[in-house]
Amino acid sequence: MELKTLIRLGGFFKPYKFILLISIIASVLYGLFNAASLWIVGTLIANLFGSSTFDNYDIDSLIGKINYFFSNLISSGSQIEQLKMICIFLFITFLFKNIFYYINWVSVSYIQLNIIKNLRNKFYSKIQQFSLQFFDKNKTGEILSIMLNDINWIKVAFNKSLQVFINELISILILVYMLFLISPILTLLILCTVPISAFLILKISQSIKRKVKRASLKIADISSYAEEKIIGIKIVKAFNMAKNEISNFFNENHKFFQLEFRHQRLYGLTTPINDIIGVTLGVFLLWYGGQEVLIYNKMSSDDFMRFIIFLFAMLQPARKLGNSIATIQTGLASAERLFEMTDQPFTKLNEENLGRINGFKKKIQIKNLNFSYSKNSKNILSNINLTIKKGEKVALVGSSGSGKTTLTSLLLRFYNYNNGDITIDDKSYNEINTKSVRNLIGLVTQEPILFNDTIKNNITYGSENIKDKQIEEAAKIAKIDDFISSLDLKYETIIGERGSLLSGGQKQRLSIARAIIKNPPILVFDEATSSLDSQSEKKVQEAIDNLVKDRTVIMIAHRLTTIKNVDKIVVLEEGSIKEIGSHEELLNKNGYYSKLYNIQFRENNE
């Protein structure tokens, strides 16, 4: 699983191969100048203590050639002259070392920030392509948690690991090579401790990954919980549940704290483990190497001094490398969550090769249609057969759960039906690009869906190249122009989240203006007036009457008074069509519709 996730993340590097190459070259040069600066520091110390730095070396060996190079570079004059040249070249090596470090840092930062941007873009694009079944099965808070929290964890992992792996790993390899040149035996002793350190870090990292995944799931739950209660804040306050909700949130947040604290406790172990192993190794090498110099004369004091300098210079990048392995596990856990979400089988089919329909001329036909939300669940709609002619006004009637909203959702192709077919002008939905179908249909929902944007942008949402005069005309038809004109910023007024600064009637008339701007030949209404007061209902009904002229209308009716004059009433019960006819025809049948009518009106003297 980890390897598969790493390979998928690695695919995001492809567009930045050239920049990655630059960063690697800069990292190699940084490592070489770093090694050179350390060598010069060792030379400086030896010079200060009067040690013969360049004498008695085998010129044929690599280490002898390095010393010969520095001998010529620094000159063989007096010690003060050598000190002067050492200081000059020490400054030069540190200058170039840091120049290449900065080049590496900028190039790696450019890559990692672009990858995070692309991951977030791809994730958002992917969820926009999912069918509504995806959103039925996944909580909004969880989706947002992945897009914000998990992708941010991946960013943290990149920040702390990509830089380390490109920069520090190359530095470690160069430093190990230098150590090997000075003393192969001591270097092999050092390398023997690597498997121990790697094993401990790997075990800790795997545990960190598990805990991060649990923490990610918990923060998703918290996000969903908070979002739900904030949206429903009126009910929370109306039922005096604020204290309970605060207590519940505190409990959930405490559980998240415990998960995060366990993660941080483990993560904090990586540095002490590396340091303890490092200092143990350092003490051992000081003792062993000191005997090699002082007792057995197998190593010069200069070499031993350089060996210790290179060794301790290597400990810091080694520590960073160990920490980055733990951080990578955090990023991998988040990446797995992200890919698990995007790999869900709810993506729309590729419709590039499907035909388009550019207008509505004759009729919509629903033939033997069956639908369920999942393979193993009961059918929501069963054997639906219905013809809706151009220009007809059709009402869908039935008790809650009878399948009215599901049927309109299928007309808008929010879901793929199981079997049967829907055709428009004798063209099957399966042969038509979904986008072209939705271009023909305007939707006005019972609860208006508006965005935290200007009135103008909400009205023109989904439409392009709309002139101001058209917007104003749509507002007049929707009976909302007087209200907009009374505002200081008029059409540039921000309406708040979900249109919170508007009344229910104003929101509904604004959504009707949006449908007018779209100018579709087919309109779908989910009873647009059922939740309004009588005054607002009257204005909205007038706006609807203006909108439906010369259009095919399919409306879900909760108040049967609004459908007396429609051409056809379709009565649904438990997902099947029970009756079809006009208002008078269905009353005369004295069937299911008549029963609904009597319950709703005659018992209330209407």
Determine which of 1-10, 131-140, 568-577 has the lowest per-residue pLDDT on average. Answer: 1-10
Please determine, for residue 141, whether its predicted confidence score (pLDDT) is greater than 60.
yes
CA 60, 64, 70, 74 dihedral sign is negative
Q: How far is CA 144 from CA 281, 343, 408, 466, 541, in A?
A: 47, 16, 28, 32, 37
pLDDT of residue 231: 66
DSSP 223: H
pLDDT band at 55 (very low <50, low <70, confident <90, very high): very low
Share of the chain above pLDDT 70, in %: 76
Work out whether strand 363-371 and strand 393-398 pair parallel, antiparallel, or are unpaired: unpaired
Spacing of C-alpha 22 from chain mean position:
29
CA distance 179 to 203: 28
Closest CA to 54 of 36, 37, 72, 32: 72
DSSP 519: -
pLDDT of residue 53: 45
38 Cβ partners below 8 Å, 6+ apart? 175, 178, 306, 309, 310, 313
Mean residue pLDDT of the chain comes to 76
Cα angle, residue 171 at apex, residues 285 and 108 outer, rounded to 5°: 150
Q: Identity (one letter) of the amino acid at 87?
A: C
Identify the helix (H) or strand (E) that includes residue 45. helix 17-48
CA distance 411 to 366: 9
The winner for highest mean pLDDT among 147-156, 192-201, 514-523, 556-565 is 514-523
SS3 assignment, position 132: helix
SS3 assignment, position 298: coil
CA distance 365 to 567: 16
* Residue 554 · residue 511 · CB < 8 Å: no
Read off the pLDDT of each residue in 532-561 and give the average, rounded to a whole number: 70
CA distance 10 to 220: 26
pLDDT of residue 605: 46
CA distance 145 to 224: 9
DSSP 11: G
pLDDT band at 52 (very low <50, low <70, confident <90, very high): very low
Please determine, for residue 54, whether its predicted confidence score (pLDDT) is greater than 50.
no
Please determine, for residue 48, whether its predicted confidence score (pLDDT) is greater than 60.
no
How many of the other CB atoms lie within 10 Å of CB of 322?
25
Provide the β-strand partners of residue 394. 554, 568
Dihedral of CA atoms 297, 303, 309, 312 in degrees, nearest 10, equals -60
Please determine, for residue 59, whether its predicted confidence score (pLDDT) is greater than 70.
no
